[in-house]
Amino acid sequence: MADDGSRAGRRALLVAVTGLAAIPCARLIGHAPLDSGARGWLRLANVNDLVESQPKRFAVIVDRKDGWVVEKGAEIGAVWLFLQGGKPAALSASCPHLGCGVQPTEGGFTCRCHDSKFDPIGKRVYGTAPRDLDALETRVTEGEVFVRFVRFRAGIKERVEVGG
């Protein structure tokens, strides 16, 4: 039979393990490799990489923690970046209907999942998408383009943030 000391040790270990299990899973532990230092703001490109009205896709890459497992370099989304009137503009690459990826096509963007169409600046033209593509904030610092990456609830007309 174990003495009181080892029982107390096992009890402390059990509390520590079950306490750690209460930590939410899939918590983002940081943006890599393009973290600007401010939550949600990602350095995605140099302004010289962008072209007027010609969208380029940039993946949003993070290190993601799920329990004890750290997944390095997980793609959690993507952004279409281009110049509009000489200034950087960013659109979420996720369709506001159900979240499929949108692609640039003749005359704007298209979501092939349910055939929604958007104009070159993301305004809804037709289809089942309930709103325009989600525009994201941008800023330029010393020639680097930063985007505030935010995800929005899909399937509704209003833009409701659900996280970065």
Provide the binding-site residues for ligand FES, judged by CB under 6 A. 95, 97-98, 100, 111, 113-114, 116, 127-129
Nearer to ligand FES, 70 or 156 (CB): 156
Q: C-beta of 59: minimal distance to ligand FES in Å? A: 19
Q: How far apart are CA 103 and CA 89, in angstroms?
A: 16
What's the distance, CA 141 to chain centroid? 21
The torsion angles phi and psi of 73, rounded to 5 degrees, stand at 65, 40
CA distances from 70 to 63, 77, 78, 140 (A): 7, 18, 21, 31
* Nearest-approach distance from CB 121 to ligand FES, in angstroms: 18
CB of 81 to ligand FES, least distance (A): 20
Closest to ligand FES by CB, 47 vs 98, is 98
DSSP 74-119: EEEEEEEEEEETTEEEEEESB-TTT-PBPEEETTEEEETTTTEEE-
Q: How far is the CB of 159 from ligand FES (least distance, A)?
A: 16
Q: CB of 40: closest distance to ligand FES in angstroms?
A: 24
Q: Does the CA dihedral 83-137-144-58 come out positive or negative?
A: negative
Compare residues 29 and 156 and give the one whose CB is closer to ligand FES.
Answer: 156
Q: Which is nearer to ligand FES, 91 or 111 (CB)?
A: 111
> How big is the chain by its Cα radius of gyration, in Å?
21
Task: Compare residues 94 and 138 and give the one whose CB is closer to ligand FES.
Answer: 94
Q: How far apart are CA 29 and CA 66, in angstroms?
A: 10
